[in-house]
Amino acid sequence: MGGFAPAASTFAGPVDSLFNLVLVITGVAFVLVEALLVYFLIRYRRKDGTKAAFFSGNRKLEMTWTIFTGLMLFGLAIYQYNTWVLTKVFLPNPSESLTVGVSANQFEWQATYPGTDGVLDTEDDLQAPINVLHFPVGKPVIIRLTSEDVIHSFFIPALRVKQDALPGRHINVWFEATQPGEYELACAELCGLGHYRMRGQVTLEQQAEFDAWLADVAARSQ
Ligand SMILES: [Cu+2]
């Protein structure tokens, strides 16, 4: 359902089925409410000789739909808990993952990769070209996200990853890519006049190709 972007990460499935579930629930509620509205508009329209009645509310009815909606939302909150934990709370073991620094600024993305020592924040670090991001498939990736100026949002639809980037904070985001290909990174937070052009090119590729690309970045920065 839903015309999604291609699914290219391990948790795309659970995220999409949650989306579909919420869409069905809200879709049914929408159709019911609108149909009732139209029915009442016609059924109780103004008629000559009929005086309008005044009601100050109906406590029983209001209690019913408040409690019913509340229970439904509470049920959804419990139902989505595992997916939330998987996508937002859980972090893969850093020693088995690739950690990449991503910094947002008006209006571009700068990715920093660990050099041969495999750790960030050393002299070995490699700066990728502006707005270019490469990740290997089949390996967990941890993005250490920050911003240099205002609030931006790191959004890669194909990976089902979206996270605000805040100045002065490092926020970890993780994913494991499954489908090689070219995808889009978009800023999903209105961050200034150039917001519309704040996009990055994401390449998901096999580990060997990724290693070759990183070696190329290293060679160019010498
Ligand atoms: Cu932005």
In the predicted structure, residue 152 carries a pLDDT above the cut 90? yes
Q: What is the pLDDT of residues 41-62, one digit of tens each?
A: 999 999 998 888 888 889 999 9
Q: How far is the CA of 185 from the centre of ligand 1 (A)?
A: 11
Q: How far is the CA of 160 from the centre of ligand 1 (A)?
A: 18
Spatial separation of the C-alpha atoms in residues 154 and 11, rounded to whole Å = 17
Averaged pLDDT of the chain: 94
Q: How far is the CA of 176 from the centre of ligand 1 (A)?
A: 24
Q: How far is the CA of 153 from the centre of ligand 1 (A)?
A: 6
3-state secondary structure of 200: strand
Spatial separation of the C-alpha atoms in residues 221 and 58, rounded to whole Å = 71
Give the global pTM.
0.87
Q: How far is the CA of 102 from the centre of ligand 1 (A)?
A: 13
Q: How far is the CA of 206 from the centre of ligand 1 (A)?
A: 29
Spatial separation of the C-alpha atoms in residues 134 and 183, rounded to whole Å = 10
Spatial separation of the C-alpha atoms in residues 70 and 65, rounded to whole Å = 8
3-state secondary structure of 39: helix
Residue 75 corresponds to which tokens in the numbers above? 């049920």
Say if strands 132-136 and 126-127 run parallel, antiparallel, or are unpaired: unpaired
Q: How far is the CA of 212 from the centre of ligand 1 (A)?
A: 30
The residue type at 191: C
Q: How far is the CA of 47 from the centre of ligand 1 (A)?
A: 55
Residue 101 corresponds to which tokens in the numbers above? 């620094």
Q: How many residues does the chain have?
A: 222
In the predicted structure, residue 1 carries a pLDDT above the cut 70? no
Q: How far is the CA of 104 from the centre of ligand 1 (A)?
A: 7
Least confident interval from 2-11, 78-87, 106-115, 135-144: 2-11
Q: What is the pLDDT of residues 164-203, one digit of tens each?
A: 999 999 999 999 999 999 999 999 999 999 999 999 999 9
Q: How far is the CA of 150 from the centre of ligand 1 (A)?
A: 8
For residue 59, the Cα-to-chain-centroid distance in whole angstroms is: 39
Looking at 157-207, which runs of residues are DSSP E strands? 161-165, 171-176, 181-187, 199-205
Quote the DSSP letter at residue 177: B
